Amino acid sequence: MVYIAWASFADLGNYHGWVMGYNAKTLAQVSVFNDTPNGSQGGIWHSAGGPSADSSGNIYVITGNGTFDVNTGGVDYGDSFLRLTSTLSVTDYFTPDNESTLDDDDLDLGSSAGLILPKQGGSYPDEITGADKQGTIYLVDRDNMGKFNLNSNSVIQTITGSSLGYFSSPAYFNNAVYYSGMSDYLDRYTLIKGALSAAPVSQSPTTLAAGGTPSISANSSANGIVWVVDAPSTTGTTAVLHAYKASKVSVELYNSQQNATRDTLGRGIRFSVPTIANGNVYVGSKAGSADSLYIYGLLQ
């Protein structure tokens, strides 16, 4: 199955959040899900991150602000973590206790994609993490997501993170989760015994103007490097590719401005994520008015 999801164009019109499933061989459409069928909004945008899937075939998305009434017998899931079957039926959800505030103030819960975390062993639950525009990081039990409780969040953990919120998705490597908020540092949180550290255990030496979704390169579990693009949305501002030591992100190994004549990127593309393959790092950017692909590799 191939799944696609989307939101709106610039919050215009009476839109919904959609997920659609297609047969991978024939591309025939076989399933459709609308998260606010009797309401509006609830876009699934994830700062350009995709849906997540577990080994049992469940699909996970996080919706943006919009109509929420499933707690009173409705069918609308604004500002919610959702677990869907492979045929896109909802089997569980989590919605924060301040959902009405998130909706009123355009503080989308779904400003990051959900990251499924490896099983921690023993009796620790299966987990997914994501963060929102208000700057809260959530750690949710995938098997018992918590639904909605007006008085408290029935989740494993909430952490007050970036003061300006998240417009990016997290990454995982070697029992650590990496988040980068708006005009904030790249943060490394440890994951031990099913819980995240209450505060970052290390931070990048400089802040990233728009935050960014990190990617990890490594030799199995060794020599981990966290790559992230600082891609300010300001017109004409040059994007910067950063590389940090995965075990201690306060150590910067490289950035594309260290030798600007050779390595500088073009203008930033919002939500740009570095892709690592075949020993190279690929970054989308703009050179002049053209969309461009920059490829970084070892010097010969």
Segment 93-137, tens digit of pLDDT: 999 999 999 999 999 999 999 999 999 888 999 999 999 999 999
Structure tokens at 202: 């290390």
Kindly list the distances between the CA atom of residue 267 and the CA atoms of 53, 214, 231, 288, in Å, as whole numbers in the listed order.
Answer: 33, 18, 7, 8
What is the C-alpha to C-alpha distance for residues 251 and 236, in angstroms, rounded to an integer?
28
DSSP character at residue 72: G
Residue 292 scores a pLDDT above 70: yes
What tokens does 163 get? Answer: 């003061």
- pLDDT bucket at 10, cuts 50 / 70 / 90: confident
SS3 content of the chain, % helix, strand, coil (to 5): 5, 40, 55
Cα radius of gyration rounded to whole Å, the chain: 19
Within a 10 A sphere around the Cβ of 11, how many other Cβ atoms? Answer: 13
The tokens for 138 are 């959530």
What's the rounded mean pLDDT across residues 215-227?
A: 96
- Residue 243: what pLDDT? 98
Coil vs helix vs strand at 71: helix
Q: Is the pLDDT of residue 72 over 70?
A: yes
Closest CA to 110 of 122, 96, 121: 96
What are the sequence ranges of the domains in the chain?
1-160, 193-300
Residue 93 tokens, joined = 């959800």
Strands 127-131, 115-117: pairing is antiparallel
**How far is the C-alpha of 53 from the C-alpha of 115, rounded, in Å?**
9
Please give the mean pLDDT across all residues of the chain: 95
Segment 224-248 shows an average pLDDT of 90
- What integer is the mean pLDDT of 172-195? 97
Instruction: Report how far residue 111's alpha carbon sits from residue 239's, in angstroms, rounded to the nearest whole number.
Output: 21
Residue 175 DSSP label: S
Q: Which of 40-49, 133-142, 225-234 has the lowest mean pLDDT?
A: 225-234
Residue 233 in this model has a pLDDT that exceeds 70: no
Residues in the chain: 300
pLDDT value of position 48: 86
Buried b (16+ CB within 10 A) or exposed e, 69-104: ebeeeeebbbbbbbbbeeebeeebbbbbebbeebbe
Q: Global pTM?
A: 0.95
Determine contact, residues 6/20, Cβ cutoff 8 Å.
no
CA 18 → CA 3, 8, 100, 133, distances in Å?
Answer: 10, 10, 21, 20
Residue type, 182: M
pLDDT mean over 82-100: 98
Residue 289 has pLDDT above 90, yes or no: no
Q: Is 101 helix (H, G, I), strand (E, B) or coil?
A: helix
pLDDT tens for residues 22-60? 999 999 999 999 999 999 999 999 998 999 999 999 999
How high is the pLDDT of residue 200?
Answer: 98
Residues with Cβ < 8 Å from 152, sequence gap 6 or more?
97
